[in-house]
A and B are shown apart, each in its own frame.
Chain A
Amino acid sequence: MRYETIPTTCSYCGCGCEVLLQVLDGELIGVLPSKASPINEGSLCIKGWNLHEFVVSERRLRKPMLRKGGSLVETSWEEALDEVAGRLAKIKSESGPDSIAALSSAKCTNEENYLMQRFVRAAIGTNNVDHCARL
Chain B
Amino acid sequence: MRELLKTRVAEMLREGRVDGVVGLIESHGEPLPYLFTADDTAALERISTGELQGRLAELIPGVVRYPLGKILTAVARKHPDKRFGVMCRACDERVVFGLFQNLQLDPDKVEILGLPCKEELARACSCPAPAPRSAIVDQPSREAWDRADLERIDAMALDERFAFWVEELGRCIKCYGCRNACPVCFCDVCTLQDDGLVKKGEIPAELPAFQLTRAWHMVGRCVDCGLCQEACPMDIPIRTIYRKVRSIVGELFDYFPGERDGGKSPLEQLGDGSFPIQ
A-side residues, CB < 8 A to B, are 1-5, 7, 20, 22, 24-25, 29-30, 32-36, 38, 40-46, 49
Over the window 20-41 of chain B, the binary record of Cβ atoms lying under 8 Å from chain A Cβ atoms (1 yes, 0 no) is 1010000111111111010000
Segment from B70-78, B116-124, B210-218, B258-266 that makes contact with A = B70-78
Question: Which of the listed residues A1, A36, A40 has the most CB atoms from chain B within 10 Å of its own CB?
Answer: A36
Contact of A45 among B28, B30, B56, B173 (CB under 8 A): B173
Stretch at the interface among B130-138, B152-160, B226-234: B226-234
- Are B30 and A7 touching (Cβ within 8 A)? yes
CA distance A32 to B231 in the complex (A): 10
Closest chain B CB from A93 CB (angstroms): 42
Q: Evaluate contact between A24 and B37: CB separation under 8 angstroms.
A: no
Chain A residues with Cβ below 8 Å from B20 are: 1, 3
- A-B complex: 10 closest residue pairs judged by Cβ atoms: A36-B30, A35-B64, A3-B35, A43-B233, A46-B175, A5-B32, A38-B59, A5-B33, A7-B28, A45-B175
Residues of chain A contacted by B59 (CB below 8 angstroms): 38
The reply to whether A33 and B28 form a contact with Cβ atoms under 8 Å apart is: no
Q: Could you show 15 A-B contacts with beta carbons less than 8 Å apart?
A: A1-B79, A2-B35, A2-B37, A29-B74, A32-B66, A35-B64, A35-B66, A36-B52, A36-B60, A38-B60, A42-B64, A44-B177, A44-B233, A46-B173, A46-B174
User: How far is it, in angstroms, between the C-alpha of A115 and the C-alpha of B173 when the chains are bound?
Assistant: 35
Out of A32, A36, A40, A49, name the residue touching B31 (CB < 8 Å): A36
Say whether B19 faces chain A, with CB atoms less than 8 Å apart: yes
The reply to whether the CB of B82 lies closer than 8 angstroms to some CB of chain A is: yes
Minimum distance in angstroms from B173 CB to a CB of chain A:
6
Please state if B233 and A45 are interface contacts (CB–CB under 8 Å): yes
CA distance A2 to B28 in the complex (A): 18
Please, which residues of chain A bring their CB within 8 A of the CB of B33? 3, 5, 20, 22, 32
B246 at the interface (CB under 8 A from A): no
Task: Name the residue of chain A whose CB is nearest to the CB of B227.
Answer: A42
**A5 contact from B19, B34, B75, B82, Cβ within 8 A:** B34
How many Å from the CB of B64 to the closest CB on chain A?
4
Known: A36-B60, A42-B231, A49-B177. A24 touches B31 (CB 8 A): no
